[in-house]
Amino acid sequence: MTGLEHYNYWIVIALMMSGLYALIARGNLIRKLIGLNIFQASVFLLYISVGFVRDGAAPILAPGVDSYSNPLPHVLILTAIVVGVATTALGLALAVRIHGAYGTIDDDQLDRQRD
Amino acid sequence: MILEHAQVLVVALPLLAVPVCALLPSRRWPGQFATLVAWAVLGFAVLLMAGVAEQGVLRYQLGGWAPPWGIEYRLDAMAALVQLLLALIAAVVFPYAARSLADEVDDGRVGGIFAALLLLLTGLLGIVATGDAFNVFVFLEISSLSGYALIAMGRRRRALVASFRYLIMGTVGATFFLIGLGLLYALTGTLNMDDLATRMPPLSASPTAQTALVFIVAGIGLKAAVFPLHQWLPDAYAEAPPAVAAFMAATATKVALYVLARFLFGVFGLEQLLEVPALQSALQGLAVAGMLAGSLLAMRAMDIGRILALSSVAQVGYILLGFALFSTAGLAAGLVHLFNHALMKAALFLALGAIVHRVGSGDLSRLEGVAHAMPWTMAAFMMGALSLIGVPLTAGFVGKWYLILAVVEQGQWWLVMAMLVASILSVVYLWRIVEVLYRRPAVLPARHEAPALLLLPTLLLAVANLVMGMHATPLVEWSMRASASLLGAGS
Amino acid sequence: MTAGDWLPLLLIVPMLGAAGILAAGRVPNLREGVTVVTSLLLFWVVVQLAMSGAEPRWVLTEPLPGLQLALSPEPLGLLFALIASGLWIVTSVYAFGYMRAKHEAKQTRFYAFFALSIGAAMGVAMAANLFTLFVFYEALTLSTYPLVAHHGDDKARAGARTYLRILLGTSIGLLLPAIIWTHQLAGTGEFTPGGILAGHAGPTVAGVLLVLYVLGVGKAAVMPVHRWLPAAMVAPTPVSALLHAVAVVKAGVFVILKLVVYVFGMEFLAGVPLERALLWLAGFTVVAASTVALRQDNLKRLLAYSTIGQLSYVVMAALTLGTTAGLAAALHIAAHAVAKITLFFTAGSIYVASGKTQVSQLDGIGRRMPVTMTAFTVAALSMIGLPPTVGFISKWMILQGALEADQLFVVLVLVVSTALNAGYFMPIIHRAFFRPERAVAREHGEAPPPMVAALVVTAFLTLLGALAADILVSTLAPVMTAGSSG
């Protein structure tokens, strides 16, 4: 068993880190949201990897197949994707309102403006 | 028939009311409708509380699917207590909001804002009602999303920024929680919390389990505003409309703390927790740091909403400290304080809302002598403040008393000293407010008390603080029972 | 009516009084009538309770299982209640004269909070357990705060803030942990003759507890927690009288005496090593405060430091341990109360009549205000401990107690401080009667009649106390014996 065998988990970690980095380091609110999305996507991949069964077929009952992938993580992650979409939509809507109220969507400039 | 399904109806009712509320015309109807729904929820919560008192644990299988495949709703003593708290706060705050929010927001948004408030209530009730770990995540996000939207409704444009930052932080926290759940599922193959608890013990030494624990504690800690993950809270609560701040300060962090207790003791279990190196001292350290940092920051803030929000950070520290003692007495003390803190913080934020409603600001520099114009509101504020300090015969004293007893039981004197220092600091920052509000300005303001619909709920909660301080025995006994059953089940 | 029915009245009468004062706020004569009637009524209730001799128990509420808010009279508590309620009558009469003469604002609020703080003092006196004691102790602090801050200017507010900070800080930071610790050790906080800690705590733990209690009861003003007392001098003179003689500092030393007798038990305390250290601290406070008083020119500040010294006499006597010393401590509470209230009354009268506040301005004032200054002399004699005053008897008993307990340190402190007391009171009397008046700023005579009447009464009490001391001692003796033998 080498480290490469679990390459999907390495991808998950790489995505997670780049997402978190964008989230923290970027001042632009839209970029922050993009970072958030990358971060969430990494978790979706994590779940899907967990559900994967080597040589398993899609979880649809069919004759001659006795090994299926686990469908539950997929279902869960569908829910999580919906939640993610809602979050992004709300975040974008807020960004639009912030732009309207402040004339900028840069985090540092927002702090500089007093009320 | 209805009683049988009360466990689900208590969540489904506010959920079904959401679209109705969003479509209601007129400024007044949405608020009144939401109030009615909240009162109905309170009725169900009381019924369920009685059921739990009689039968111990109530279980309900959604759609008739048996666990661990189907989703199970599970109500034990701890969940019933938090559910009742949610329903109570909603029943008192919603009529208040019906008056104050309708005045604060544009015509077109009134329906939407009450729909969001009901959705928030749904999410919080759902978290408490469910016995399924993934369901907790979904309801957590439902409550969070509606929370972000509500905070953005604040008077100042700063509310938008506060809401956006909370959204980013909150989503990261929820995602951490999700990672933790994923790891748990990979390890055990189940998401039912009872099922998890039975399968965890042999696996608890595995790094995966411990990593899952860290992710879950960090994710929920963020939602609960545990120090140092509290940064979102002061801005969010200070900028939100006061009625929303009152509701969220009293319930949202409390439910997150409930989830923390549920996972720590109900899923991982006491013995496994003790195997994780330094977990206990880390939690205690964070609790104390939160108590002190929140109080110190509150001493320097100028906005009353901000002061109250920062004091929440400190109070979360107290509750967390109770949990982190890892003892029956400690958990019970934490639960008592959780319940009582909701009462006092709601009373304080409602009083603040009444002041803001009249004066148009919550800034200390503009509130000199307000007490002379609004004596009743200030009386309620004083009551809440005394309770927050922990003066005997108020609700706040009870939790602290049991917390100190639980700490002394373990002989950890430094924790006692930290609690007392934080209490003294709370006297300082609250006294600053009281002094300014009672100061006699050159021109005495005319009597200008808040409208009755704002005043009555505020006074009701203020009196509740007194009543819960004088007759704490039922709450204490119930918390002891909840704590004993949870720790008994976990180990 | 049985004795048990009187107990609730101790709280109800002052509260109703405060409500009545607020209701009658627009009519000054009526308002002051209500005050006097309330104070008389309260005193009568206390007397009835004392006469009945029964020790009933009244439970207000039981907020937590096993934690009661309960009142129950016992001889020490009755003594304190008698002092506080009795002196309230005189102080009220004095206050009418003072407040009217000075045209003070917000008099209604003043009288209402005055009544409330007396109610809190009654609660402290009758507390049946540590929890109840703590509740009323804090209530007393909070209800006196508006009185200290009465003038409402920056100076008053700063003084009041110090007052609040020190009293709340010590009580929450030291007294409360001590109470909780005691609960944890003994499983109860009930005041029991002979103490509750014996057998539950080792000498070291008991020593730490005693330190927490003595410093935690900030109202007793043992150094280094004495600073609130001079800071509170910003208050009107009747409030100073309330703080120094009627309720607040008296509550402090009374609580310490009560803790020594009913929580620790004298016998048990004798085996606690740290107890000696506290005795020395109290002795040090006596001498240090008297030395500071020697250098004060402001009359009220001088009296404040004198109070700090006198309080530590009580603490010191209580910690000397033994029946005589314990009785001396109780008697000295009473002795200091009547004498110090007289001194504050005279200081206020001088201020109202002549506007003078400094000792150095008092040359020849005895000729303009002979009654006032005679009363001052009587009270000063009592403070120094000279016959024929009650102070002489209490000091004599402290001395006796110290000799019985072989505490030569206490004897030494008594000798030195008596010299110091004489050192700061005698020059004032000398100035007032024997020095010629300097430049005449304004013609004046005595202060308004109610004030003079009040201070004459208290001066008489200072003399009468010498005769009544016997009765007091014989009433209290059984408590102290139970304390030292139980």
Give the CATH number, domain containing residue A95: 1.10.287.3510
Which pLDDT belongs to residue C441?
66
User: Residue B404 and residue C69: Cβ atoms within 8 Å?
Assistant: no
Assess if residue A79 is contained within a domain. yes
Instruction: Report the alpha-carbon angle B12-B18-B19, nearest 5.
Output: 120
User: Residue A36 and residue B172: Cβ atoms within 8 Å?
Assistant: yes
The H-or-E segment that residue C37 falls in is: helix C28-52
User: Residue C64 and residue B421: Cβ atoms within 8 Å?
Assistant: no
The closest CB to that of A91, out of B161, B164, B185, belongs to B164
Confirm or reject contact between C64 and chain B (CB < 8 A): yes
Chain B residues lying within 8 Å of A8, measured CB to CB = none
Angle, to 10 degrees, between the axis of helix B375-389 and the axis of helix B452-470? 30
C22, B375 contact by CB (below 8 A)? no
Angle, to 10 degrees, between the axis of helix C274-294 and the axis of helix C203-216? 20
Which residues of B make CB contacts under 8 Å with C?
391-393, 397-398, 401-402, 404-405, 408-409, 416-417, 420-421, 423-424, 427-428, 431, 435, 440, 469-473, 476-477
Assess if residue A60 is contained within a domain. no
Count up the domains in chain C and report the number.
1
pLDDT tens digits for range C450-484: 899 999 999 999 998 888 888 888 888 877 775 44
User: Residue C131 and residue B392: Cβ atoms within 8 Å?
Assistant: yes
Assess if residue A93 is contained within a domain. yes
Which pLDDT belongs to residue C125?
92
Structure tokens at B126: 């759902």
**C neighbour chains, 3+ CB pairs within 8 Å:** B
The H-or-E segment that residue C63 falls in is: strand C58-64
Please give chain C's pLDDT, 486 residues, in tens. Answer: 676 778 888 899 999 999 999 888 888 888 988 999 999 999 999 998 888 877 888 888 887 777 888 999 888 899 899 999 999 999 999 988 888 888 887 888 889 999 999 999 999 999 999 999 999 999 999 899 888 888 878 888 888 888 888 898 888 888 988 998 888 888 888 898 888 888 888 888 888 888 899 889 988 888 788 888 888 888 888 888 887 777 888 899 899 889 988 998 888 888 888 888 888 889 999 999 999 999 889 998 899 899 889 989 998 998 888 888 888 998 999 999 999 999 999 999 998 888 888 998 888 888 889 999 999 999 999 999 988 899 999 999 999 999 988 888 999 999 999 999 999 999 999 999 988 887 666 778 888 888 999 999 999 999 988 888 888 888 888 777 754 443
Q: Indicate the average pLDDT of chain B.
A: 88
| Cβ atoms < 10 Å from Cβ of A102 | 17
Using CB atoms within 10 Å of the CB of residue A54, give its burial: 0 to 12 exposed, 13 to 18 middle, 19+ buried: exposed
Q: Could you give the CA distance from residue C233 to residue C295 in angstroms, rounded to a whole number?
A: 17
Which pLDDT belongs to residue A65?
76
Question: Which residues, in sequence order, are bridge partners of residue A106?
Answer: A28
Domain residues for the domain of C388 are 3-485
Which pLDDT belongs to residue A72?
82
User: How high is the ipTM of this complex?
Assistant: 0.91
Residue closest to B397 by CA, chosen among B351, B337, B339: B337
Instruction: Report the alpha-carbon angle B376-B379-B380, nearest 5.
Output: 95
Assess if residue A48 is contained within a domain. yes
pLDDT tens digits for range B157-208: 889 999 999 999 999 999 999 999 988 988 888 888 888 888 888 887 788 8
Which pLDDT belongs to residue B2?
66
Chain A residues lying within 8 Å of B174, measured CB to CB = 83
Which residues of chain B fall below pLDDT 70?
1-3, 442-445, 489-491
User: Which one-letter DSSP state was computed for residue C295?
Assistant: T
Which pLDDT belongs to residue C486?
34
Which pLDDT belongs to residue B146?
94
User: Which one-letter DSSP state was computed for residue B277?
Assistant: T
Using CB atoms within 10 Å of the CB of residue A4, give its burial: 0 to 12 exposed, 13 to 18 middle, 19+ buried: exposed
Assess if residue A59 is contained within a domain. no
Which pLDDT belongs to residue C234?
82
Assess if residue A38 is contained within a domain. yes
Residue closest to C486 by CA, chosen among C270, C328, C212, C332: C270
Q: SS3 sequence, B357-419? A: HHHCCCEHHHCCCHHHHCHHHHHHHHHHHHHHHCCCCCHHHHHHHHHHHHHHHCCCHHHHHHH
Integer distance in angstroms from the first to the last C-alpha of chain A? 59
Residues 6+ apart with CB under 8 A from C314: C220, C253, C256, C257, C329, C332, C333, C336
Confirm or reject contact between B175 and chain A (CB < 8 A): yes
Which pLDDT belongs to residue C186?
86
Structure tokens at C31: 């308002």
The closest CB to that of A50, out of B156, B167, B182, belongs to B182
Nearest CA in chain B to A102: B157
Residues 6+ apart with CB under 8 A from C417: C286, C287, C290, C309, C313
Please give chain A's pLDDT, 115 residues, in tens. Answer: 456 677 888 888 899 999 999 888 888 899 999 999 999 999 998 888 877 777 777 777 778 777 777 788 888 888 899 999 999 999 999 999 999 988 888 888 887 776 6
Domain residues for the domain of A77 are 3-53+69-112
Count up the domains in chain A and report the number.
1
User: Which one-letter DSSP state was computed for residue B447?
Assistant: P
Chains C and A touch (3+ CB pairs under 8 A): no
Residues 6+ apart with CB under 8 A from C419: none
Q: SS3 sequence, B474-486? A: HHHHHHHHHHHHH
Which residues of A make CB contacts under 8 Å with B?
20, 23, 29, 32-33, 36, 39-40, 43, 46-47, 50, 73, 76, 79-80, 83, 86-87, 90-91, 94-95, 97-98, 101-102, 110, 115
Assess if residue A62 is contained within a domain. no
Nearest CA in chain C to B414: C177
| Cβ atoms < 10 Å from Cβ of A3 | 8
B64, B5 contact by CB (below 8 A)? no
The H-or-E segment that residue B75 falls in is: strand B72-75
Residue closest to B119 by CA, chosen among B254, B249, B21, B255: B21
Name the H helices within A26-106: 29-51, 71-102
